[in-house]
Structure 1
Amino acid sequence: MSFRTLAALFAFIIGGFAIAAGADARDRGRDRDGNWVLLATRSVDLKKEDDRIDVGTGKGRFRSVMIVGKDRLIDINRVTVATEGQPFVEKRRLKLEHGQRSRPIRFSREGQAIKHVDLSYRLHIGAAGPAKVELWGLRASPDVPTARSKSPSRTTTTAAAATAPQGEETDGAGAVMFGVLEVGSDVEQDVFKLGREYGRFGRIRLRAQGNAVQIKEVRVIYTGGAPDVLALSGEVAANEQTDWLDLKGDRFIREIHFVYAGRSRSKARLEVYGEYAESWFRPGSGTGAFSSANKGWLYLGGQSPLFVSIRRGLGYETDIVSVARNRGFKSLRLDVKNRAITLNQIKVVYSDDSSDIFAERQKVNGGTSYGPVELKSRRPIKQIEISYRSRIFDTQARGKGYAFVEFWVR
């Protein structure tokens, strides 16, 4: 066989491998594309500034969503993905022309079921009115989704649990935010202090906003007993959350110490969430040790407002507050910490999507409260929406950071 023939045969074999590799790559691409599924098609009303696309938890678990504008300009400045955990808020602007799709909005690493997606729009002259959008989701796995029943409640041998009513309707994300840290470029460690009044937590998780946070160690200091050093070391990616980190024992947290692996190039916001220990609060029955502390008030959830609204400049920021799973309460109180806020409105949304609206525009100083107010519905609280902002000029402020607002219920 001549050298020319061997060269031709070798080129043919290499070409065959290249074609096969290309086919495999295309197949993998199709597999990835195949995991994107159409969740909903809606005609949204841009005049309303806000709209909701219902999905439902029975459609399976997803890691990302994508929005497609079908027929006209849609300028979106806020996307809120409501899951079975705390809501994920994407505040980067999405300006979609006719037929254009957004970048993937990743809200979960492992995948979560989606309850609904809320869109907030930026109005343009002559652009108000109906517009058609598609909502796509990236499956966490290619498996066909099945409707999932609620996880069975953990059992306990206490008398309170034995007499508590079973099967009560509950709502709420389950996780409550009880702390926010502003991680600066010159900070190597932080200490977050927590009081006994907030209760006992069975597990916590962290969420980074704005930029990634490199964490070397998380140490939980209790009011008594040995501390917990949590199994978390590495990067918490921007706009993502960690897995739940279980706490040992049923104790009150005094402090949480954070040691960062390296100095960040830019500032990030680190949010701390917790889920109550069953002995402190049992959502199905509404009972627990909390009832004999704080005059029966339970911490339901919190949030930290900005100085300047992302949507309206010096206007008001609207945040969705993740609340503990619950079956309803009679009264609600808002406590303000660190710095005064300008409060515009509080909207309490119940499990049947009915709502109560409270407050008129007013200043609430740090260290004071708004309320308590009576809740008209006794149904489970699904979430709380608050329109507000931190006040820049406050001579009584503690530090230079934002305010922190806390919702308490009884």
Structure 2
Amino acid sequence: MTGSRTKWENKPMGQLETQLAALAQTADLCPCRQVALQRFRRIGLPAYHSEAYQRTDLSAMLEGEWTITEGSYQYNIEELQLPEGAYIGPLSGFKGNLPKIYSTDEDPLQALIEGLDDHAFLVYLPKRAKLAQPLNYTYLLEQAPTGAMLLSRFIIVVEDEAEVEIVGYDRNRSANRSVSLQSTEIYVGRAAKLSLTDIEDSSAVAQRISTLHLHQEGESVANLNFISLHSGKTRNNYYCDLAGEYASLSLGGIVIASDDEHVDNSSYIAHSVPHCTSNELFKYVLSDRSYGVFTGRILVAQDAQKTQAYQNNRNLLLSSEARMQAKPQLEIYADDVKCSHGMTTGQLSESALFYMRQRGIAKDEAKRLLSIAFAEDVLQLIEREELRDSLREQVASRFTF
């Protein structure tokens, strides 16, 4: 990926460092995990208030002693008709070679997850294979002891001209403090198509730290969407590399936060070659004392002429105590491009509320309807109508006044 993403500052890790040092000495730890842990311990956690982590303190989220705990993964694999050569299952059961998607030297969180997790899950579609039905999965945790660390490593490889849709639910319902470390690694081959929808619906004490790496070859299409319905404290990283000409990316997100929820989304989209398109839209609806953070950076390399890159962040504050921090960024080194970025934060339109009340709609119902409408253009990024309708109902259920 062209360009430097961020500068990591080594941060003391307390008890976590002690646990990692002990794990690194485990005799039966495979060499690849040992290397990943060594990389993480060398790079360290990104420091609070550093460039990419100005509003979310990972060291605080990982403070304390942790016990790796397994949740329950539920897949609809038995309902699918897998094309010849396709594979969905544990990475350990796959016989073949996979493309390199990222470098753990650039992402310490990825290195940490690789070092801790030896149960990666793989979705592999060979050339021209198409999955007729969506792959659905749910990560479910009903209860866990305090200090549970949940690990998830998901690898998606869509070879040339293949197609797949994946829908995932993250449901950590434990009433005790826990942290979920998640990574998603995606390769989309030439003229291939991927749709991925990630829905977070967790308890108020759940913590989530996720990192996603996307690599796209020429003429590929990727549609990624994140829906946050309930959360405790969440930090999501999206690293997207458009590495082949005429690749197209849609990256969308809707965050609905209340009480003391904290949701931080950070994206980095690199246009490395000419003629690629990216369209990014994140929206937040914040009430009570909730806190939203959005950092979006688009890099257009010097050789990436004819790039079209658009970034939008729109935020709605429903209380005087809700807070939003946003930092959209464009870094352009090519001169023949169409790029834009924008950000707005505000409250519900008083004129719209007045208009609706004049037509007999109660004030609270008018606020609810306007909030639902605010989320609609993000939901429209989801291509499948059935999923879009289901999510629309779930989003609507979050608005009570």
TM-score w.r.t. length of structure 1: 0.30
Larger Rg: 1
| TM-score, normalisation: structure 2 | 0.31
Higher helix residue share: 2
